[in-house]
């Protein structure tokens, strides 16, 4: 049986990136970040580096009651947050977005959200109050101001008509106005990456990078305003938050030298072929499928499961990313979770050698994802060149994968410039609390300015 194991290991070599390849990726990303920030190259840039118009991080003095709305996937959340001295009370409710609304009209989407907002305010006894709201909108957004953001394209299974190219804040304002029953001031629109940074910065003033490794992958960071050529506000503040939208890194072919047949297959069968190439190598929406495609190949080669697959194994999307985390959570030599997963997939005939191979494939795919993310974070740290930076991180892959944090710590340490120190901090509810904090900071600034 040794031979099958060796062949699988050889086949998985394509999922390993050498240090030389990683350095090349960092070099390419650094160039793409510079293009995104520059006025001359921005339109052609794949990594857009959108300006967020957020120039102030929380200072811990924010007070009051705020609403937050978090829209970034098949569910959305409404939150009410009460900020006091060194504490905050937060209550939230999750609402589903039915499939027909995800693929219907923009008006129907915003009406559905506005209805849920009104119901939430009734339930929490603030139906009569006028409240500020921070809106987390986790799709590629071109920001034109703190409360103006134009949707660039839908991702994550959404395709609502009449929203791409439009201001989503206006879409929500119009829906609230159509109801005419609640008073909500939308103070800011942001994405989940920005929210993650803001949420961590409330506790840790060194937090200057926000990272999401979940259904999607993205990062934002604090850049010197002087480097942001597209910023047309008042440059009185030296720093500005940049939303990189780095999931699109590689859309121009710059990652092709490390992509595999499995990556190409995932891309071709996705709803957005040719787009979000880096994200498809990193995020929770795709990691399980990458593993499944490798397992299918090895089964067809007769190297796994005695050449006998199952209907489920051969069905796209059947190997969830959570399976990867579960399988890698088993101690070495213990296959309890792996056995449960394979039984769910109709592969109860798997041997111990098969299970060891399945685990190995999972490890290769998740390690590569961690290394790609680490290359990105190290690129940002080197670009910022600050002595100590905390990276605020959220997302299901980082949160639930048993080794992702350790893999990232080890790799980033190898890749950052000597003397630069960093910490990785798990965000507590960036997209919810972070949105309320952006609204709170906006209100704080408005009060100071008035």
Active site residues: 156, 192
3-state SS track over the chain: CHHHHHHHHHHHHHHCCCHHHHHHHHHHHHHHHHHHHCCCCHHHCCCCCEECCCCCCCCCCCCEEEEEEEECCCEEEEEEEEEECCEEEEEEEEEECCHHHHCCEHHHHHHHHHHHHHHHHHHCCCCCCEEEEEEEECCCEEEEECCEEEECCCCCCCCCECCCCCEHHHHHHHHHHHHCCCEEEEEEEECHHHHHHHHHHHHCCCEEEEEEECCCEEEEEEEEHHHCCCCCCCCCCCEEEEECCHHHCCCCCCCHHHCCHHHHHHHHCCCCCCCCCCHHHHCCCCHHHHHHHHHHHHHHCCCCHHHCCCCCCCCCCCCCHHHHHHHHHCCCCCCHHHHHHHHHCCCCCCCHHHHHHHHHHHHHHHHHHHHHHHHHHHHHHHHHCCCEEEEEEECHHHHHCCCHHHHHHHHHHHHCCCCCEEEEEECCCHHHHHHHHHHHHHHHHHHHHC
Reading phi first (left if > 0) and then psi (alpha if -120 to 50, else beta), residue 143 is in beta
Buried b / exposed e across 171-180, counting CB within 10 Å, b at 16+?
bbbebbeeee
Say which residues have a Cβ less than 8 Å from residue 105's Cβ, sequence separation at least 6.
160, 161, 162
Provide Rg for the chain, Cα atoms. Answer: 23
Q: Which residue is it, tokens 């030599």?
A: 333
Considering Cα of 256, then 257, then 258, then 264, what sign does the dihedral take? positive
Q: How many residues are given for the chain?
A: 450
- Cα 278 to Cα 263: distance, rounded to the nearest angstrom: 10
Report yes or no: 81 and 436 within 8 Å, Cβ to Cβ.
Answer: yes
The 10 Å Cβ neighbour count of residue 124 is 17
């Amino acid at each position: 049986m040794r031979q099958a194991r060796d062949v699988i290991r050889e086949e998985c070599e394509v999922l390993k990136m050498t240090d030389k390849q990683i350095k090349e990726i960092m070099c390419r990303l650094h160039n793409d970040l510079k293009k995104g920030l520059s006025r001359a190259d921005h339109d052609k840039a794949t990594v857009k580096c959108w300006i967020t118009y957020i120039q102030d991080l929380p200072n811990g003095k924010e007070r009051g009651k705020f609403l937050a709305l978090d829209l970034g996937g098949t569910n959305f959340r409404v939150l009410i947050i009460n900020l006091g001295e060194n504490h905050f009370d937060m209550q939230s409710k999750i609402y589903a977005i039915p499939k027909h609304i995800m693929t219907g009209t923009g008006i129907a989407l915003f009406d559905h959200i506005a209805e849920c907002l009104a119901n939430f305010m009734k339930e929490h006894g603030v139906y009569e109050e006028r409240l500020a709201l921070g809106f987390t909108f986790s799709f590629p957004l071109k920001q034109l101001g703190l409360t103006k953001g134009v949707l660039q394209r839908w991702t994550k299974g959404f395709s609502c008509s009449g929203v791409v190219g439009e201001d989503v804040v206006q879409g929500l304002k119009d829906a609230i106005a159509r109801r005419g029953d609640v008073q909500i001031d939308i103070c800011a629109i942001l994405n989940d990456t920005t929210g993650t940074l803001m949420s961590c910065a409330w506790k840790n003033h060194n937090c200057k990078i926000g990272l999401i490794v979940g259904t999607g992958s993205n990062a934002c960071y604090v850049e010197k305003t002087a480097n942001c050529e597209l910023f047309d506000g008042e440059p009185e503040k030296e720093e500005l938050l940049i939303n990189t939208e780095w999931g699109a890194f590689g859309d121009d072919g710059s990652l092709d030298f490390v992509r595999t047949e499995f990556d190409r297959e995932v891309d071709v069968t996705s709803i957005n072929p040719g787009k979000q190439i880096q994200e498809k190598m990193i995020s929770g929406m795709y990691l399980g499928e990458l593993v499944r495609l490798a397992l299918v190949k090895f089964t067809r080669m007769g190297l796994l499961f005695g050449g006998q697959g199952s209907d489920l194994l051969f069905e796209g999307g059947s190997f969830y990313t959570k399976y990867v985390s579960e399988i890698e959570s088993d101690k070495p030599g213990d296959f309890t979770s792996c056995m449960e997963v394979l039984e769910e997939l109709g592969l109860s005939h798997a041997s111990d050698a098969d299970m060891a191979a399945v685990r190995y494939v999972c490890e290769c795919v998740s390690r590569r994802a961690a290394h790609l993310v680490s290359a990105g974070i190290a690129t940002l740290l080197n670009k910022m060149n600050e002595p100590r930076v905390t990276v605020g991180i959220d997302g299901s892959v980082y949160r639930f994968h048993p080794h992702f944090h350790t893999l990232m710590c080890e790799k980033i340490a190898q890749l950052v410039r000597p003397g630069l120190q960093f910490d990785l901090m798990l965000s507590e509810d960036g997209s919810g609390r972070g949105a309320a904090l952006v609204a709170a900071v906006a209100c704080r600034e408005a009060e100071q300015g008035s």
